[in-house]
Amino acid sequence: MSKTPKTLTPKLVKKLWLAFILLVVMMGVSYIGTTNYFANKHNQETTQRLNADVANHVIAEKFQNASPFLEDGSVNKPLFGDLMHDMMAVNRGIEVYLLNDGGEILYSVVLDPNDKDATKSVSLAPIKSFIADKGEKFILGDDPRNPEEQKIFSAAPYSVDGRNGFVYIVLAGKKFQEVSSTLMGQYFAKLGLGAISLTTVFAALIGLLAIWFLTKNLRVITSTVRRFSEGDLTARIKNPESSDISIFANSFNEMADTITGNIDKMKSVDLLRRELIANVSHDLRTPLAILKGYIETLQMKRDTLSESEKQEYLQITHDNVDKLSKLINQLFEYSKLEAEQVTPVKEPFSITELSHDLIAKFKVLAEQKQIELHIDNPKENNMVFADVSLVERALQNLIENAIKYTEPKGKVTLSLHKKGKNVEINITDTGTGIPVNEQPFIFDRYKQVDESAKKQGSGLGLAIVKKIMELHDTTITVLSKPKEGSSFIFNLPVYQV
């Protein structure tokens, strides 16, 4: 049984899932933390505001009938014991301190007088600020029983028997703290347990859903990549722009296009190579067979053949050797051009002069065929910037073709005209012409319009011309009408001194 391949690794899904749960838990913890902080602050502020006047009441109620100090100047401890008793009956979280005007603690029921480490004074600044603001502001003061902590308090000044000081009441004393922390602990235990189990379940569910959504595009990409790797070269990611990871989707599509393009190119190169080998062997075989036949005849019938027959056979052999060597040269030239082994060596030269030379070279051949070969606009000297030997090769092939495909009494004209930054070179003949449907293919290798033309040429001439044009970053166009003639036109850049 074959397993259906997974589109995403379980590792990735697991990681995403864990990250999601971690995120939710972290958010939960920070939420509980901030809620706790603000709830606590709110609670403290409310308690302080509510009990702001407690210290004033203590002074007004208790110090009216009895002095906080005895006659010997010591603190009236029974009064304070009584006071604390009353207070704690109402609120067990309260702790009362009697301070002198320097903030020194004169007495408190909750402080052990024998404790040498106990705090002896409290800071007066928050107390004074509290009194000045009439208890309207949230202020924290020192806690004598817990020097590291700041507590909410109520305070009021007294002035009795020439002695000044403050009644300082810590509102959330030790008792309050104990009760509060136990309650808080229980509350958090309950909240924590509930919250953790709830968030885990929800995070797991939402996490899975979110991963499914987030990785939707990723799954599409993975399955497409897999299809491609399994040989489906048409596999592409649809609408890559709309993908969440469009760069990746686009890059994959481009990469796939390049790969298939290269494969196509390789296939066509391979096809061309096979075609070339087949054509070459065919082209070489025919003249070779003819050569072999005539040589054998000459050898065998040496004594019976007349002198003129011998001459004729030798001429045929000579022509075929010529043909063979020309074909081999062309093949060599073409394969070099195709393999991009030829780099044009561009230099300034006179295309007019080169044309004159070529016309002179083909004059005899043209005259033999009774063809009028001439150059148009012979006076204007046009300088171009190109590879002289490659341009000469191209022109030679074009003139050769023009003469080859033109009937006696026809005309072949080579014209040169400066057009802007280029010189236009035009080789026109009044020959057979090329059918319109064949025109796009005549520059392909071995393309010959008329099968009988095979006898006249190799079918490589125009392919070589096209390659030379490509090397000069230019193109060649053909204008032709059957039975009227053809024009081959190309441009070369003018050389400006």
Smallest separation (angstroms) from ligand ADP to the CB of 421: 28
- For ligand ADP, the closer of residues 224 and 401 by Cβ is 401
Smallest separation (angstroms) from ligand ADP to the CB of 434: 5
State the DSSP code for 173.
-
- What is each CA distance from 337 to 341, 469, 488, in whole angstroms? 6, 11, 21
Smallest separation (angstroms) from ligand ADP to the CB of 265: 23
At 437, list the tokens. 């449907």
Side-chain-facing half-sphere of 389: CA atoms under 13 Å: 5
Q: Which residue is nearest to ligand ADP (CB)?
A: 457
d(CA 58, CA 65): 12
Instruction: Give the containing element (helix H, strand E) for 348.
Output: strand 347-350
Smallest separation (angstroms) from ligand ADP to the CB of 333: 12
Task: Give the 3-state DSSP-derived string for 280-304, with helices as H, strands as E and coil as C.
Answer: HHHHHHHHHHHHHHHHHHHHHCCCC
Smallest separation (angstroms) from ligand ADP to the CB of 339: 19
- For ligand ADP, the closer of residues 103 and 431 by Cβ is 431
Smallest separation (angstroms) from ligand ADP to the CB of 459: 4
- For ligand ADP, the closer of residues 153 and 443 by Cβ is 443
Contacts of 219 (CB under 8 A, 6+ apart): 7, 8
- For ligand ADP, the closer of residues 414 and 460 by Cβ is 460
Smallest separation (angstroms) from ligand ADP to the CB of 403: 8
SS3 33: helix
d(CA 134, CA 333): 109
- For ligand ADP, the closer of residues 53 and 438 by Cβ is 438
Sign, Cα dihedral of 295, 300, 302, 308: negative
Which residue from 122, 95, 111, 248 is spatially nearest to 176, judged by alpha carbons? 95
d(CA 157, CA 168): 9
Instruction: Give the containing element (helix H, strand E) for 318.
Output: helix 307-338
Smallest separation (angstroms) from ligand ADP to the CB of 480: 7
- For ligand ADP, the closer of residues 256 and 399 by Cβ is 399
d(CA 109, CA 174): 13
d(CA 215, CA 237): 15
**Cβ–Cβ under 8 Å, residues 154 and 171:** yes
Buried b (16+ CB within 10 A) or exposed e, 64-103: eeeebbeeeeeebeebbeebbeebbeebebbbbbbbeeeb
- For ligand ADP, the closer of residues 152 and 427 by Cβ is 427
Smallest separation (angstroms) from ligand ADP to the CB of 445: 8
- For ligand ADP, the closer of residues 135 and 410 by Cβ is 410
- For ligand ADP, the closer of residues 99 and 402 by Cβ is 402
DSSP labels for 52-81? Answer: TTHHHHHHHHHTTTS-SB-TTSSB-HHHHH
Smallest separation (angstroms) from ligand ADP to the CB of 461: 3
Interface contacts to ligand ADP, rule CB under 6 A: 397, 401-402, 405, 429, 431-434, 442, 447-450, 453, 457-463, 486
- For ligand ADP, the closer of residues 217 and 401 by Cβ is 401
**Cβ–Cβ under 8 Å, residues 384 and 349:** yes
Smallest separation (angstroms) from ligand ADP to the CB of 478: 8
- For ligand ADP, the closer of residues 215 and 401 by Cβ is 401
**Cβ–Cβ under 8 Å, residues 242 and 220:** no
